[in-house]
């Protein structure tokens, strides 16, 4: 996943293979690209925005289609080319991609005088990020159908990577594929405790929504939560609700670390000297999540 790159070079997690992606991490943390270097890479490049259509030529003796009657012509259908035969030796190699090929357009903000010197070029909404983190976490813990990040395809990824053989799917006695119990899976009794605590939670007026409308006790799921509701539950309620029903100790530690991180980040008074400590803490938290949860759980954050 690449989270271990941000750890110190002598950290223990860098040399552990089985707990992560079955490889040792020796690369250093990526360096943030400055605006001047990005503008230097964009010089001389021409970008064509929008889709390019090939106009079909009119053939003699052919009937006019719907597009030609209106005075416009649709895109020409091209025949699919077959893949070249490797044995014949006619394989054409693709040109190597350059670092500047990652750009698809040039930002209009570079036209400003201070555009290349602007350090904050992307404004990320913390509330929406927090909402995505909470939804992925709670949907995986409650094992909500079509919402959870744990499934057959996610378990098959473990087999392809070659890690966590205890969590890989196997055939049962009746010939059906079975998924072993994971450290983040909760039994029905624990799900009921978690949903009951959230359902009975009362907040001050205007602090959050009425959780009675958001908790479905029959299906044991949370629905209709807004960004601020996820903000309140993740920081103040979830780690308290999991005290007597947490699936494993590692999951409980991760939930507490996430709550502390977002609480300090969203506080009214932010100490600049603690930002480096927050950066170090969230990197360790992501590495711990990589050890406990499946790769699909973390990949969904970046999509």
Q: How confident is the model at residue 57 (pLDDT cuts 50, 70, 90)?
A: low
Is residue 70 over pLDDT 50? Answer: no
What does the H/E/C string look like for 13-77? Answer: HHHCCCCCCCCCCCCCCCCCCCHHHHHHHHCCCCCCCCCCCCECCCCCCCCCCHHHHCCCCCECC
The mean pLDDT value for 39-46 works out to: 85
Q: How confident is the model at residue 197 (pLDDT cuts 50, 70, 90)?
A: very high
pTM for the model stands at 0.77
Most confident of 5-19, 160-174, 248-262: 248-262
Lowest mean pLDDT among 208-217, 230-239, 277-286: 208-217
Please write the tens of the pLDDT for every residue from 85-130.
545 555 556 667 777 777 888 888 888 888 888 888 778 889 999 9
Lowest mean pLDDT among 58-62, 130-134, 142-146, 158-162: 58-62
Lowest mean pLDDT among 91-95, 162-166, 184-188: 91-95
Please write the tens of the pLDDT for every residue from 235-272.
999 999 999 899 999 999 999 999 999 999 998 888 88
What pLDDT is stored for residue 102 in this prediction? 77
CA dist., res. 256 & res. 284, Å (int): 13
Percent of the chain whose predicted confidence (pLDDT) is above 90: 33
Q: Which two tokens stand for residue 100?
A: 């500047």
Closest CA to 22 of 156, 162, 160: 162
In the chain, what are the domain boundaries? 126-149+183-302
What pLDDT is stored for residue 258 in this prediction? 94
Q: Average pLDDT of the chain?
A: 83
Q: How confident is the model at residue 72 (pLDDT cuts 50, 70, 90)?
A: very low
CA dist., res. 83 & res. 183, Å (int): 44
Is residue 284 over pLDDT 90? Answer: yes
What pLDDT is stored for residue 47 in this prediction? 82
CA dist., res. 134 & res. 192, Å (int): 18
CB atoms within 10 A of CB 203: 15
What pLDDT is stored for residue 71 in this prediction? 45
Lowest mean pLDDT among 31-45, 81-95, 117-131, 174-188: 81-95
Is residue 73 over pLDDT 60? Answer: no
What pLDDT is stored for residue 252 in this prediction? 94
CA dist., res. 59 & res. 56, Å (int): 9
Q: Which residue has the higher pLDDT, 127 or 60?
A: 127
């Amino acid at each position: 996943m690449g989270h271990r790159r941000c750890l110190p070079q002598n950290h223990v997690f860098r040399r552990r293979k089985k707990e992560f992606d079955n490889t040792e991490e020796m690369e250093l943390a990526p360096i943030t690209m400055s605006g001047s270097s990005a503008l230097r890479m964009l010089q001389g490049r021409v970008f064509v925005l929008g889709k390019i259509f090939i106009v079909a030529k009119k053939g003699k003796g052919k009937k006019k289609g719907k597009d030609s009657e209106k005075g416009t012509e649709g895109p020409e259908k091209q025949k699919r080319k077959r893949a070249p035969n490797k044995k014949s030796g006619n394989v054409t190699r693709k040109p190597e991609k350059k670092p500047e090929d990652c750009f698809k357009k040039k930002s209009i903000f570079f036209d400003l005088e201070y555009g290349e010197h602007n350090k904050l070029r992307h404004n990320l909404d913390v509330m929406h990020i927090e909402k995505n983190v909470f939804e992925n976490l709670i949907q995986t813990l409650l094992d909500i159908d079509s919402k959870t990040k744990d499934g057959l395809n996610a378990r098959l990824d473990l087999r392809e990577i070659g890690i966590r053989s205890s969590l890989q799917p196997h055939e049962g006695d009746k010939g059906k594929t079975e998924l072993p119990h994971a450290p983040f899976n909760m039994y029905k009794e624990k799900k009921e405790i978690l949903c009951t605590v959230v359902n009975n939670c009362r907040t001050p007026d205007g602090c959050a929504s009425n959780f009675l409308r958001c908790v479905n006790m029959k299906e044991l799921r949370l629905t209709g939560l807004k960004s601020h509701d996820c903000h309140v539950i993740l920081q103040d309620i979830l780690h308290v609700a999991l005290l007597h029903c947490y699936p494993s100790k590692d999951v409980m530690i991760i939930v507490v670390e996430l709550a502390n991180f977002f609480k300090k980040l969203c506080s009214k008074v932010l100490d600049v000297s603690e930002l480096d400590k927050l950066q170090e803490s969230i990197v360790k938290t992501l590495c711990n999540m990589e050890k406990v949860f499946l790769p699909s759980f973390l990949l969904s954050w970046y999509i």
